[in-house]
């Protein structure tokens, strides 16, 4: 493996069958030795142990974050509070996706918390939209984009996935169009 800060690992979903409960935490610790950035999107114990290993980015959905924190998330403010707890537990930055309500993003180094408001779309299924959102964040990190542009592309990827014929089928044209429709706000 090349020793480069440009390397990234994206982990998404539950641990592989038969893997130890701390599978993602171990992966994060090994990646850190090689200065590889890790993006984490999981739930339950893998999320809990993964956060303790200090991932670069964490992106649970509303239900996963609520389960992790043992408290309900009923909107932007409560999502922001839980996200701040995740940053305190080890993540450098993160976002909590809130479905049709958009997402909340924050980091340890930025002074502002951003909220992406997404356009309402009718779709048969949004399965895989969290993965698409995480892919958007990883892409933006690769490009070195600002937090605002990172949140905008990630939210557009998640919504575009809802328009696709199946999970992971978001089209570049939909992402480009939706990117212009995403409204970014600063949470005060």
Q: Please write the tens of the pLDDT for every residue from 15-55.
A: 778 888 899 999 999 999 999 999 999 999 999 999 999 99
What one-character DSSP code corresponds to residue 114? E
Whether residue 133 lies inside any domain: the answer is yes
Range of the domain at 143: 112-182
The structural domain count of the chain equals 2
Burial (0-12, 13-18, 19+ Cβ within 10 Å), 143: exposed
1: pLDDT strictly greater than 70: no
Looking at the predicted structure, is the pLDDT value of residue 2 above 80? no
CA nearest neighbour of 156 among 116, 104, 185: 116
Q: Are residues 178 and 127 in the same domain?
A: yes
Q: How far apart are CA 97 and CA 126, in angstroms?
A: 12
* Domain termination residue (choose one: 98, 122, 137): 98
In a domain, 137, yes or no: yes
Please check whether residues 147 and 173 belong to one and the same domain.
yes
147 near 110, Cβ under 8 Å?
yes
Taking residues 87-91, report their average pLDDT: 96
Which DSSP string do the residues of 119-152 spell out, in sequence order?
-----S--TTHHHHHHHHHHHHHHHT--HHHHHH
pLDDT at residue 118 greater than cutoff 50: yes
- CA gap 131, 136 in Å, rounded: 9
Q: 79 and 52: one domain?
A: yes
Residues 44 and 18 in one domain: yes
Domain of residue 32, CATH code: 3.40.1190.20
Mean pLDDT of 75-104: 95
CA distances from 68 to 51, 79, 151 (A): 10, 12, 23
Nearest in space to 137 (alpha carbons), one of 60, 77, 67: 60
Stated pTM of the model: 0.91
32's tokens: 């850190």
My answer on whether 139 and 162 are in the same domain is yes
Q: Are residues 52 and 78 in the same domain?
A: yes
């Amino acid at each position: 493996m090349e020793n480069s800060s440009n390397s990234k690992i994206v982990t998404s979903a539950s641990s592989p069958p038969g893997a130890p409960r701390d599978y993602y935490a171990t992966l994060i610790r090994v990646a850190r030795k090689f200065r590889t950035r890790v993006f984490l999107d999981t739930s339950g114990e893998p999320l809990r142990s993964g956060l303790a290993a200090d991932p670069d980015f964490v992106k649970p959905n509303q239900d996963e974050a609520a389960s992790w924190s043992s408290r309900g998330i009923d909107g932007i403010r409560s999502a922001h509070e839980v996200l701040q707890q995740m940053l305190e537990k080890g993540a450098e930055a993160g976002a909590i996706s809130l479905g049709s309500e958009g997402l909340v993003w924050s980091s340890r180094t930025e002074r502002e918390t951003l909220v992406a408001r997404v356009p309402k779309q009718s779709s048969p299924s949004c399965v895989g939209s969290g993965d698409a959102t995480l892919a958007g964040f990883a892409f933006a990190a690769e490009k070195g984009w600002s937090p605002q542009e990172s949140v905008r592309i990630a939210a557009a990827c998640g919504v575009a996935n809802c328009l696709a014929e199946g999970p992971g089928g978001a089209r570049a044209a939909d992402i480009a169009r939706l990117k212009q429709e995403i409204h970014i706000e600063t949470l005060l």
